[in-house]
Amino acid sequence: MTAPPPASNPLAPPLLDAQGRCMTYLRLSITDRCNFRCSYCSPASWGGKKDLLDAAEFERIVSVFARMGIRRVRLTGGEPLIRPDIQEIARRLAAVPGIQHLAITTNASRLETLAVPLREAGVTQLNLSLDTLSAETFRRISKQGDFDALMRGIDAAAAAGFQSLKLNVVVMRGINDAEVPALVDFAHARGITPRFIELMPFGQGTPVPTAELLERLAATGRTLTEEPQEDAASPTSGPARYWRTTGGRVGFISPLTQNFCGGCNRVRVASNGDLRSCLGGRAQAPLHQLIRGGATDAELAMAVRRALGDKPEGHRFTEAGNGATLLPMMGIGG
């Protein structure tokens, strides 16, 4: 089933997928390289893509998506802050008419110097990746990377005045699952919302179900009250579900045990311009080739709509043997 475009103007909203879900959220990878090599995200065999897009090309893509109804853009990687033109990219995208929220997901290692410049460039939200409070455990998860710089970066982000800060923790059994209560306290002490993510089958490690983590937090004496889910049509809606507890909110992203696909409002573009309609699939549209081939905005919009016409109802992470067909997380953009 292909989601039909408006009869006269393929750039006109809404932007629908094959199931009629409305896309309002673009996850845009600006690099698939990283200064860390976390086991669940970036296997040693990953060599990276070539022909990464430049700031003007990212701006062109976001402008087309904004005209089609995208209101929220998240810059991902790899590690987006290793791009030397990250501030230029942020300024350009924050200024695109129709874009209401510009967020970045980062390992925080370069935020000590970049937090304030990024906020001034128009970034409204940071998601900070921190899987452990232990330098020793960090070295087990990431064979390279500066743990001290990461921690300084988180404190710099907390002091910089962003509208929203979230702490993303990928939970792995026997590695960092015992740290969940301590990570909640660490985040809340800095005004940050912690979010615990079930490990997806892109790399090494064993996932821990969200229900088990909720039980662990309750066992520490915390009262947890589930918040109503945000409407999927909202540009700020995402896959997380939130609970309120003493000190603040706690979020959980549960792709395996609480499939989040039903309310999907997201479309992904990789760092070389490949549009991917689903995190768990390989179907794509080469937007970069169209841009460099002189395509009009309407032609780009038609390519986007055709790709979303192939977007499946849900991911297939749990199907036997499917893990072998998935790209590593840093190759997709998360």
What is the C-alpha to C-alpha distance for residues 116 and 133, in angstroms, rounded to an integer?
24
Q: Which residue ranges are tagged as binding site?
A: 27, 34, 38, 40-41, 74, 78, 105, 129, 166, 200, 261, 264, 266-268, 278
Instruction: Let me know: does 193 contact 248? Beta carbons within 8 Å.
Output: yes
What is the C-alpha to C-alpha distance for residues 238 and 263, in angstroms, rounded to an integer?
8
Q: Which residue ranges are tagged as binding site for [4Fe-4S] cluster?
A: 34, 38, 41, 261, 264, 278
Q: Is 323 left (phi over 0), alpha (psi -120 to 50) or beta?
A: alpha
DSSP strand E in the chain: where? 25-29, 72-76, 101-106, 125-129, 164-171, 193-198, 225-226, 241-245, 248-253, 266-269, 274-276, 284-286
Q: Which residue ranges are tagged as binding site for GTP?
A: 27, 74, 105, 166, 266-268
Q: Which residue, among 334, 305, 327, has the nearest Cα to 20 in the 3D structure?
A: 305
Q: Which residue ranges are tagged as binding site for S-adenosyl-L-methionine?
A: 40, 78, 129, 200
Instruction: For the chain, report the end-to-end CA distance as a whole number of angstroms.
Output: 26
3-state DSSP call for residue 203? coil
